[in-house]
Amino acid sequence: MSEGLRNEFEQVIFNSQSSLHRHQVPHKEAIPHDLDILFMTPHDHYSNLNPPQHHRNLIERVVDIMHPDIPLAAFPATMFHIPPHGEVPAHVDNPDYGRRTGIVFPITPYDPDKWAPCKTGIHEPDTYCEFHSCYAFSTDARHEVYNNEYVRSMVQIWVDLDCSEVYDRFKTGKLFKPLNSKDFFFV
The count of other CB atoms within 10 Å of the CB of residue 83 is 16
CB-based contact 118:148 (threshold 8 Å): no
Using CB under 5 A, which of 38, 78, 93, 115 touches Fe ion?
93
DSSP single-letter state for residue 66: B
37-45, 92-100, 109-117, 118-126 -> range binding Fe ion (CB under 5 A):
92-100
Distance separating the N- and C-terminal Cα atoms of the chain: 12
Q: Is 77 in contact with 157 (CB distance < 8 Å)? A: yes
Q: Is 34 in the site for Fe ion (CB under 5 A)?
A: no
Which lies closer to Fe ion via its Cβ, residue 6 or residue 143?
143
Nearest approach in angstroms of CB 75 to Fe ion is 14
Q: For 83, left (φ over 0), alpha (ψ -120 to 50), or beta?
A: beta
# residues near Fe ion by CB under 5 A: 1
Q: How far is the CB of 70 from Fe ion (least distance, A)?
A: 20
CB of 110 to Fe ion, least distance (A): 21
Residues forming contacts to Fe ion in the complex (CB under 5 A) are 93
